[in-house]
Structure 1
């Protein structure tokens, strides 16, 4: 897997990452969603540099100009519900892409720290031989992404696979590296070193879904 650590270089991305982490600013759910969206836009721009391009002739009012335009058949797939603001950021830049959505959540069968990932819902166009962008804001243990990818594979094999993440842990990155195809690309804004005993990223930011849309039962 090829890792593209966008936050490794200083840019305005730092501002949006800092704000989604800040527990005072987090209280504004509208701003939290918008910052995730803006991070998605930055990751989209960086990802776009790796796509295939085709020369296309464009007619202006004065003349004709050949320009290089992306030539991939993109499918954007986000994990519900936390992935929705990130999905919108991707869609702002890849507005001609097809869209897919899949649900995944942690189930604690004994109300303890151990959990399993339940995947229940998947709505998608044809993904066979297309470029799949799999978006999830938080890459903690990596189990959710692997469970989701295993479910998606039953419906076809994408030509290219790009995973788009806002914040990930080292352990989660290592986990998906073992389970995803070798030619997978990971586009990530920030990497944290630790997971706590419950499998949450430290320092992280908390539960992205709750911060974006309110606490769940």
Structure 2
């Protein structure tokens, strides 16, 4: 079963960012909305970096030598398009030497109101024995993040996987925990209790993709 870490259990700058991300008036500024998602991604990167392996490296300064610690291996960062792009950029701002992967997924709706998650596209380097960070701003039912994780396994067996989301529902989190192995850590900035019959998180924040990039037809 996957492990879980939720950032807003302790007050921090994340609390300020989350207040702005959820605020219906601040959301009208799509550039600020994207930047707030990006800043939360940067905080996730910092927290995840504490779990990674480091090695000592001798660095030449202008006055001598200094023994410093650097990443032993760079992670692979992947995201679910399109809503995940700002969060992905925040992670990439800190893991700036990482390789990147991209997944296209969407909800295929049926006449009875139900839907399936469909994957259309996957581009990713090998993740064999690497640290994989997979981001999606919302974990509603949990099915899309689990499906994306399983699809990425076609690129190798990672040493550890970090799933990063800004907001998740309790139902979606439980689904993900049940369907992911113990070498997976799920990171969330906030966890909301309610998931509607249409699979929208309440209070949530709305449609992250539309708020960041404009409404779809």
- Tell me the TM-score normalised to structure 2 length: 0.97
Given that residues 159 and 183 in structure 2 are in contact (C-alpha distance below 8 angstroms), is that contact kept between their aligned partners in structure 1?
A: no
Structure 1 moving runs of 4+ over 2 Å? none
1:155 deviation in Å?
2.5
Question: 1:95-106 residue pairs with structure 2 within 5 A?
Answer: 95-106=96-107
Alpha-carbon offset, residue 89 of structure 1: 0.1
Distance in 1 between residues matched to 2:214 and 2:79, nearest whole Å = 18
* Post-superposition offset of 1:80: 0.1
The aligned counterpart of 2:80 is 79
How far, CA to CA, are the matches of 2:186 and 2:130 in structure 1? 17
* 1:92 and 2:119 correspond: no
Corresponding residue SS for 1:41: helix
Structure 2 equivalent of residue 47 of structure 1: 48
Q: Secondary structure at the match of 1:39?
A: helix
Shift of 1:72: 2.4
Offset, 1:6: 1.2
Aligned partners of 2:66, 2:185: CA distance in 1, in Å? 32
- Choose 153-162 or 165-174, whichever is displaced more: 153-162
Residue in structure 2 matched with residue 192 of structure 1 by the alignment? 192
Q: Contact 1:113–1:197 (CA<8 Å) still a contact in 2? A: no
Corresponding residue pairs, total: 216
Q: Which residues of 2 match residues 143-162 of structure 1 at below 5 A?
A: 143-162=143-162
Q: Contact 1:53–1:70 (CA<8 Å) still a contact in 2?
A: yes
How far apart are 1:160 and its partner, in Å? 1.0
Aligned residue in 2 for 1:181: 181
1:30 matches 2:31: yes
Can you list the C-alpha shifts for 1:118-177, whole angstroms capped at 9, x where unaligned?
Answer: 000011111111111000010111011111112212232111111011111111111011
- Quick one: distance in 2 between partners of 1:214 and 1:30? 11
CA RMSD of aligned residues (A): 1.0
Query: In the aligned structure 2, how far is the partner of 1:168 from the partner of 1:52?
Result: 28
